[in-house]
Amino acid sequence: MSMDKNERRMNEVLESALSLEKRPMPEQLRNRLIAIPKQIENSIVIVPKFQVWAFAAGLAVLMALNAFALQKKRQIDTATVEATPYMEYFSHYNSI
């Protein structure tokens, strides 16, 4: 009994989509959608060469500082490791 009730309810839900009608688009909405591409301007932003070179120089300085700091850290780590009797045991970590 409940299966018939459930099946009827499912059929009602599925068939309810058939009763939907397509609504026409309001003219005001259509005009607004058509006007959108006309409002957008095609503009190209040109970045001055000075800013490009300044950014490149800053990036180069940052990379140089990182390399310098890494080199100093490796020197400190090497000095610390060489002072311990376990240097041979952990030497495979130097390649990482």
> Could you read off the pLDDT of 52-71 as tens digits, one per residue?
999 999 999 999 999 888 88
In 1-96, alpha helices (H): 2-16, 27-39, 49-82
Average pLDDT value for the chain: 80
Residues 1-23: tens digit of each pLDDT: 567 888 888 888 888 877 778 88
What pLDDT is attached to residue 64? 93
- Alpha carbon 84 to chain centroid, angstroms: 45
- CA 33 – CA 22 distance, rounded (Å): 19
Q: Which residue has the higher pLDDT, 32 or 78?
A: 32
Q: Angle at Cα 90 formed by Cα 88 and Cα 96, nearest 5°? A: 125
